[in-house]
């Protein structure tokens, strides 16, 4: 598994007191991504890019890419289209789904807003670590074909999120 993390923000997340010293952002992101892939029985090695930005940058990306003129907490840019959420049966039909050198499945990009992580952790009354993990998990499910546009989709996605958070022992 390859996880590329780029922090475009001038504020690191892991200076906050609720990140344990061994829980750097990079290590935690890798654990969450691996846990999602395991929970979903993803049958391939994978590549994921994580970009950490501030509120101004995610606002600009959201406006440019989605036509929504507002900041958001996380954006997902999947590179693979699935027949159904978590259905990986046809990935090999398109060679473009895999990195030509490593053979890893190219899942896509996650853009995470450091300001929103901290703001939402405070708003929801849990740790920055938990919010960071949750948003990466949520975005990973989008990269695997899940969505929450209907009540049924939202319920399925929420149950997947809760299962992974429990497995990681990251609670509110």
Model confidence pLDDT, tens digit, residues 47-57:
999 999 999 99
* pLDDT tens per residue, range 55-75: 999 999 999 999 999 999 999
Determine the 3-state secondary structure of 107 from DSSP.
strand
pTM of the model: 0.94
Report residue 37 as tokens: 């892939």
CATH of residue 17's domain is 3.40.390.30
- Cα 143 to chain center, whole Å? 8
* pLDDT tens per residue, range 71-117: 999 999 999 999 999 999 999 999 999 999 999 999 999 999 999 99
For range 41-46, the mean pLDDT: 98
H-type alpha helices, 6-150: 25-39, 55-66, 114-124, 128-143
Q: How confident is the model at residue 17 (pLDDT cuts 50, 70, 90)?
A: low
Using only the alpha carbons of the chain, give its radius of gyration: 16
**Beta-carbon contacts of residue 130 (< 8 Å; ≥ 6 apart):** 121, 165, 170, 171, 172
For 137, the enclosing helix (H) or strand (E) is: helix 128-143
Which residue in this structure is represented by tokens 């996605």?
157
The total domain count for the chain is 1
* pLDDT tens per residue, range 132-159: 999 999 999 999 999 999 999 999 999 9
Q: What percent of the chain has pLDDT over 70?
A: 94
Domain residue limits at 132: 2-168
């Amino acid at each position: 598994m390859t996880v590329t993390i780029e922090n475009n923000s001038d504020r690191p997340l892991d200076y906050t007191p609720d990140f344990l010293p061994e829980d750097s952002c990079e290590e935690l992101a890798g654990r969450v991504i691996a846990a999602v892939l395991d929970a979903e029985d993803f049958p391939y090695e994978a590549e994921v890019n994580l970009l950490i930005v501030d509120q101004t940058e995610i606002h600009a990306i959201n406006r440019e890419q989605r036509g929504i003129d507002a900041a958001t907490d996380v954006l997902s840019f999947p590179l693979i289209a699935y027949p159904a959420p978590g259905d990986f049966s046809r990935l090999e039909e398109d060679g473009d789904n895999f990195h030509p050198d490593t053979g890893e499945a190219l899942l896509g990009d996650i853009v995470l807003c450091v300001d929103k992580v901290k703001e939402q952790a405070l708003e929801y009354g849990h740790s920055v670590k938990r919010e960071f993990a949750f948003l990466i998990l949520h975005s990973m499910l989008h990269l695997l074909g899940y969505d929450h546009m209907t009540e049924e989709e939202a319920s399925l996605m929420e149950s997947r999120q809760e299962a992974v958070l429990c497995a990681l022992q990251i609670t509110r």
